[in-house]
Amino acid sequence: MDFEISEGRRMLADSLGRFLSDQYGITHRNKMAYEAPFHDPSKWNDLAELGVLYALAPEDRGGFGGTGFDVVTVFEQLGRALCPEPILPQLLAARLLLAAQADLEPLLSGGTRYGVAMGEVDAPYALDGITTEAVKSGASWQITGRKSVVYGAQAANTLLVAARHAGGLGVFRVASDDARITPYGMIDGGGAGEVFLDHSPATLTLDTADTALQDALDWGALALSAEAVGAMDTANALLIDYLKTRKQFGRPIGTFQALQHRAVDLAIEIEQARSITILAASRMGTGLQSRTVSMAKNLIGRTAKLVAEDSIQMQGGIAMTWEYPASHYAKRLIMIDHQLGDTDTHLERVMAGLQSTP
């Protein structure tokens, strides 16, 4: 496998990393991530002008990327800065719109912000548990149901809703003004919303959407894995800096062998997480996509929890304070495990796949 990053992706990572470093200092990030609308609309426009969203789509559909490695490049940088902008729902929407052969330009230019409503209260991860119903009335459709923890719903002007109809599971386009959205900030920053649909007018986008929805979930899980790798890198850098500067008994605590061993163990775990994320990126679009993404998300969930807990324990009380960035990285790392399928969910998917293999 070629582990060298291409020149184009290196330029994208450098320009996005510089932008986030300049514009999303931790103080500004925390202010925007925890206060409505839980992101910075002006910075969203700047990100769109930077062309970040175009990295989510292939060239023949108007973008300049669209591969697993392009997605990893973008989300790793977002993770380093704990960026709260709703890029993840745009990736999910892009995959669904690609499957529907729909126009991607409004999404890629940032002019249309999508929220993708899949999960429900009793079916947070499983597509077969979706109960939201779409009914055709004449030439139009109406949708009724509730969608839970819809990422980016607080900032979306268009929703893509997974709903059942007489022919199976479809995807419908709903204007945000035609749904009742209860927005809120998540515990680790960034926004989401509960979406209530009561005979809401909708447009059928994908008739039979099971495969496309699972594909979107796979790409979302890959993006979250890459975001976690970026966040773990920064959390580990904060820890190493602390171990080098904090002194006890007249010398830096990083010189104590017990802490050195723990820090080395964490670095090894992070490299393993990075490796499986690269493997998952290489298998997007192949028959091993879902299985490898689940393997990655499972390992990422376990490693992220370890990094969050160990970095707080080794840095002590300061890592529990609002003012110190480590606490926010720890929250984000813990929460990533619960987005688009937690550790147990993805382990069950891998096991089910192995059992069904002849």
Nearest to 73 by CA among 162, 1, 20, 5: 5
Q: How confident is the model over 59-93, as pLDDT tens digits?
A: 999 999 999 999 999 999 999 999 999 999 999 99
Look at residue 97 and tell me whether its pLDDT is greater than 90.
yes
What's the mean pLDDT in 126-133? 94
Q: How confident is the model over 179-225, as pLDDT tens digits?
A: 999 999 999 999 999 999 999 999 999 999 999 999 999 999 999 99
Give pTM, 2 decimals. 0.96
Which residue matches tokens 């009335």? Answer: 137
Could you report how far apart the first and last alpha carbons of the chain are, in Å? Answer: 27
**Percent of the residues in the chain that have a pLDDT greater than 70, as a whole number:** 99
C-beta separation of 29 from 83 below 8 A: yes
- Ranges of H-type helices in the chain: 7-23, 26-33, 41-50, 68-81, 87-99, 105-108, 210-245, 257-282, 289-315, 325-336, 343-356
Nearest to 232 by CA among 204, 192, 200, 272: 272
Look at residue 353 and tell me whether its pLDDT is greater than 90.
no
User: Average pLDDT over the chain, rounded to whole?
Assistant: 95
